[in-house]
């Protein structure tokens, strides 16, 4: 049976049921926060790029773990332990299928994208003069670990500057990629929502003998990731940005590469046995998951992926595009407002990041919250380097997801119009 959150449309001509539209009202019932009010007004949550909301299916699965079988995986052989071990295995398989990995052995559970990048930076055995190539729009999580290696190991860090319209500059990339050890790039930017043409970038990198890591923190929640089709070597995303429990993420690596990495966290659960002098490491992925894990979180990831797959990425994209186009068009009517990135909303996923010259955008965010419980993020969104380079103080960022509605977008625009008049 199709999930309850789809509309059914009978096509009388050929009696085929089409369920390609999502019923936002039914979806909203799955998200507890969207049924709450502050000061008798609903909450408009436009901050999903930071943290997505969680459907009750995810929350209930986690609660079930705590109520029914709160044991460890991979250690105890009693039936509760067995149950957790099997659930963790099942979620690893679900995630592998979700990103079309070759096998669940390529999936490492981590706390977030940041941890995955640190794992890579500290496990790849970089040497002096190795080169890392990033874009100019990296989140601090894909910048600071490399800057730390510049200081610690003497590696080099190069940057491909984006074009003025925010698109990827292949000409400059082709020149810079020669001799690079690792191309490490943000797939979809949390700054402007723009996605790099990853498949072509990866092909060129491989032709030059470079490995590639993709930061999929903002792409995995919004579009189908196919690691085989991309031929990407390493990839990471945070499940808390895609309906999953807070503090859960995934690190993917091609198995041959994962086997060669040296874990930077070691201890319990990473070894087959130890003596007073030595030990034998487990194989990947287990050797990367030191100590007891966040089992409730892992179980929640499984439910989040199932929920996303039932909604479908085509439906997610359609809803985000509809709202993004409307908001973009309305903001463009206000001459004071400048949107970061492409003028084409279709290139900006669910993100509209905007600023007003000489205005502290934190003020705007606070006013939106005060006026109508509209939750957006303001600041430099952990991409300080880009703001400092461009000498822009900060921006206000609306980040949409499929549970947002046109009424919410209209409310936001009406509040922005009022704020602009006050300013
Ligand atoms: C593009 C991008 N990369 C990395 C991160 C870091 O994610 P986390 O804080 O979950 O590690 C974020 C978080 O906003 C992000 O947007």
- Please tell me the number of Cα atoms within 13 Å of 46 on its side-chain side: 32
Residue 218 Cβ contacting ligand 1 at under 6 Å: yes
Do residues 233 and 213 touch, judged by C-beta distance below 8 A? Answer: yes
Structure tokens at 156: 């080099």
All structural domains of the chain, each given as residue ranges with its CATH number in brackets, are 19-46+312-422 (3.90.1150.10), 59-309 (3.40.640.10)
Give the tens place of pLDDT for each residue, 99-140: 999 999 999 999 999 999 999 999 999 999 999 999 999 999
Taking CA atoms only, the protein residue closest to ligand 1 atom 16 is 190
In this prediction, residue 201 carries a pLDDT of 98
The label of the residue with tokens 């479908």 reads 312
Ligand 1: centre distance to CA 372 (Å): 27
DSSP type of residue 218: T
Residue 196 Cβ contacting ligand 1 at under 6 Å: no
In this prediction, residue 20 carries a pLDDT of 52
Q: For residue 240, give the ligand 1 atom closest to its CA.
A: 10
Q: For residues 262 and 260, what is the distance between their CA atoms, to the nearest angstrom?
A: 7
Q: For residue 187, give the ligand 1 atom closest to its CA.
A: 1
Give the tens place of pLDDT for each residue, 200-236: 999 999 999 999 999 999 999 999 999 999 999 999 9
In this prediction, residue 10 carries a pLDDT of 40
Which strands form 211-215's sheet, in the order they lie side by side? 107-110, 249-253, 234-238, 211-215, 182-186, 131-135, 156-160
pTM of the predicted model as reported, rounded to 2 decimal places: 0.94
Residue 139 Cβ contacting ligand 1 at under 6 Å: yes
Three-state SS at 44: strand
Query: Best of 138, 382, 395 to mutate for ligand 1, by most ligand atoms within 8 A of CB?
Result: 382
Residue 315 Cβ contacting ligand 1 at under 6 Å: no
Q: Is 225 exposed, middle or buried (0-12, 13-18, 19+ CB in 10 A)?
A: buried
- Residues classed as catalytic: 382
Ligand 1: centre distance to CA 41 (Å): 30
Ligand 1: centre distance to CA 356 (Å): 25
Indicate the length of the chain as a whole number. 423
Taking CA atoms only, the protein residue closest to ligand 1 atom 14 is 50
In this prediction, residue 423 carries a pLDDT of 85
Taking CA atoms only, the protein residue closest to ligand 1 atom 12 is 217
Structure tokens at 130: 């190795």
Cα separations in angstroms, 172 against 48, 159, 184: 32, 10, 16
Percent of the chain having pLDDT more than 90?
92
Please give the average pLDDT of every successive group of 10 residues along the chain, which has 423 residues. 40 40 87 96 98 98 98 92 97 98 98 98 96 98 98 98 97 98 98 98 98 98 98 98 98 96 93 96 96 97 97 96 98 96 95 96 97 97 97 97 97 97 89
DSSP type of residue 262: P
Residues whose CB is less than 8 angstroms from the CB of residue 360 and which lie 6 or more positions away in sequence, other chains included: 393, 394
Query: Best of 48, 111, 114 to mutate for ligand 1, by most ligand atoms within 8 A of CB?
Result: 114
Taking CA atoms only, the protein residue closest to ligand 1 atom 10 is 112
Residue 215 Cβ contacting ligand 1 at under 6 Å: yes
Structure tokens at 319: 């809803």
Ligand 1: centre distance to CA 131 (Å): 23
């Amino acid at each position: 049976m199709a999930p309850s959150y789809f509309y059914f449309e009978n096509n009388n001509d050929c009696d085929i049921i089409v369920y390609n539209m999502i019923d936002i009202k039914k979806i909203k019932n799955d998200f507890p926060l969207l049924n709450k009010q502050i000061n008798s007004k609903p909450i408009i949550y436009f901050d999903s790029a930071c943290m997505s909301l969680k459907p009750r299916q995810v929350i209930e699965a986690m609660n079930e773990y705590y109520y029914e079988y709160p044991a460890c995986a991979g250690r105890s052989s009693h039936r509760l332990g067995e149950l957790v071990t099997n659930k963790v295995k099942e979620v690893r398989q679900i995630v592998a299928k979700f990103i079309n990995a070759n096998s669940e052995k390529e999936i490492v559970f981590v706390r977030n994208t940041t941890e995955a990048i640190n794992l890579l930076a500290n496990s790849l055995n970089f040497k002096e003069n190795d080169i890392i190539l990033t874009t100019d729009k990296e989140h601090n999580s894909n910048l600071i670990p490399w800057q730390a290696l510049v200081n610690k190991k003497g590696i080099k860090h190069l940057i491909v500057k984006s074009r003025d319209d925010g698109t990827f500059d292949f000409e400059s990339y082709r020149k810079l990629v020669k001799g690079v050890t690792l191309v490490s790039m943000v797939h979809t930017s949390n700054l402007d929502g723009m996605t790099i043409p990853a498949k072509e970038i990866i092909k060129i990198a491989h032709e030059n003998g470079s490995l590639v890591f993709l930061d999929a923190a903002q792409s995995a929640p919004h579009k189908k990731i196919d690691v085989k089709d991309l031929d990407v070597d390493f990839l990471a995303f945070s499940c808390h940005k895609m309906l999953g429990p807070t503090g859960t993420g995934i690190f993917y690596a091609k198995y041959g590469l994962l086997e060669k990495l040296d874990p930077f966290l070691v201890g319990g659960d990473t070894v087959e046995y130890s003596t007073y002098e030595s030990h034998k490491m487990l194989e990947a992925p287990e050797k990367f998951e030191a100590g007891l894990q966040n089992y409730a979180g892992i179980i929640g990831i499984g439910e989040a992926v199932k929920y996303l797959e039932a909604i479908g990425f085509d439906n997610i994209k359609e809803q985000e595009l509809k709202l993004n186009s409307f908001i973009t068009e309305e903001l463009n009517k206000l001459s004071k407002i400048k949107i970061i990135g492409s003028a084409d909303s279709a290139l900006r996923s669910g993100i509209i990041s905007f600023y007003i010259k000489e205005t502290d955008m934190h003020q705007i965010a606070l006013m939106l919250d005060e006026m109508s419980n509209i939750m957006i993020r303001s600041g430099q969104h952990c991409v300080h380097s880009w703001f400092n380079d461009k000498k822009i103080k900060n921006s206000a960022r609306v980040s949409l997801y499929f549970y947002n509605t046109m009424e919410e977008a209209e409310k936001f625009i009406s509040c922005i119009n009022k704020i602009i008049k006050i300013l």
